[in-house]
C-alpha cells in the first residue's frame, strides 16, 4: 500500500469536495480547483475526510494512488491557505517594479523585461523581492520557474534571479599569473 496514498485527507471547514466521473472539484474560501481523476483510483468523501483507494495492485495503479492523493491534498491546501514562492533579484543596476498582474525588470539587458502573470497567479514586488502567490501549486511553481529563467543566477558574482531559500555555489575567479 502506498505510504502517501493510504493517508486520509482532512477536509477543513468551508471546503467542499465533489467527486465526478472524470474529475474532482475542490471549492473553498480562496476559490475552486478541478483535479483530474486518475484511472483505477477511487475517492470517497466520508464526513470531514477524503480517502483515496485503488482497484488493484498493478504498478500503474500503485503509482496513480499516491499521485491522486497528493494532487487532492494540494488542491485542499490551495483553496484554504494558498501557495507562494519568493524570488530575489541580485545585481548592480538591476531594478524591479510592477503590480499584481505584470512586473517590469531591468536585468542588465538593453531593454526592460516584462512578465505578465497568467490568470489565477498574483505577483507582489517589494524592493528586490518578487512574491508569486496563487491557489494552484503547480501553476505558482511554473510561474516562479519562468521568472527565474529570465536571468538565472551566475556562479561567480551571484547576479541574477534566485529563490529566497536557494544557495548559489560560488566559484573562484581567474587564478591570475604567477
Asked if residues 55 and 61 have their Cβ atoms less than 8 Å apart, the reply is yes
CATH superfamily of 9-80: Ribosomal protein L6 (3.90.930.12)
pLDDT digits 0-9 by tens, 74-110:
999 999 999 999 999 998 889 999 878 999 999 989 9
- Local structure of 157: helix, strand or coil: coil
Provide DSSP, 12-54. Answer: -TT-EEEE-SSEEEEEETTEEEEEEPPTTEEEEEETTEEEEEE
Query: Binning pLDDT at 50, 70 and 90, where does residue 1 land?
Result: low
Domain ranges of the chain: 9-80, 83-163
- Taking alpha carbons only, the member of 84, 52, 83, 79 closest to residue 68 is 52
Residue whose C-alpha cell is 494552484 = 136
pLDDT at 131 over 90: yes
pLDDT at 178 over 80: no
Assess whether the region 9-80 and the region 83-163 belong to the same CATH fold: yes
Query: Binning pLDDT at 50, 70 and 90, where does residue 38 land?
Result: confident
Burial label, 70 (beta-carbon count in 10 A; 0-12, 13-18, 19+): middle
pLDDT at residue 158 in the model: 86
pTM for the structure as a whole: 0.87
Q: Are strands 102-106 and 129-134 parallel, antiparallel or unpaired?
A: unpaired
Does the domain at residues 83-163 carry the CATH identifier 3.40.50.2300?
Answer: no
Amino acid at each position: 500500500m502506498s505510504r502517501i496514498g493510504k493517508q486520509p485527507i482532512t477536509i477543513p471547514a468551508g471546503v467542499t469536495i465533489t467527486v465526478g466521473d472524470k474529475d474532482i472539484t475542490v471549492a473553498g474560501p480562496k476559490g475552486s480547483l478541478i483535479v483530474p481523476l486518475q484511472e483505477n483510483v477511487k475517492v470517497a468523501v466520508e464526513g470531514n475526510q477524503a480517502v483515496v483507494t485503488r482497484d488493484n495492485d498493478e504498478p500503474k495503479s500503485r503509482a496513480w494512488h499516491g499521485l491522486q492523493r497528493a494532487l487532492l491534498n494540494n488542491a485542499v491546501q490551495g483553496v484554504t491557505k494558498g501557495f507562494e514562492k519568493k524570488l530575489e533579484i541580485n545585481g548592480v543596476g538591476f531594478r524591479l517594479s510592477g503590480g499584481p498582474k505584470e512586473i517590469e525588470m531591468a536585468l542588465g539587458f538593453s531593454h526592460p523585461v516584462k512578465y505578465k502573470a497568467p490568470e489565477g497567479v498574483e505577483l507582489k514586488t517589494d524592493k528586490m523581492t518578487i512574491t508569486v502567490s496563487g491557489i494552484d501549486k503547480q501553476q505558482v511553481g511554473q510561474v516562479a520557474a519562468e521568472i527565474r529563467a529570465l536571468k538565472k543566477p551566475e556562479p561567480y558574482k551571484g547576479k541574477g534571479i534566485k529563490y529566497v531559500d536557494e544557495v548559489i555555489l560560488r566559484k573562484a575567479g581567474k587564478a591570475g599569473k604567477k
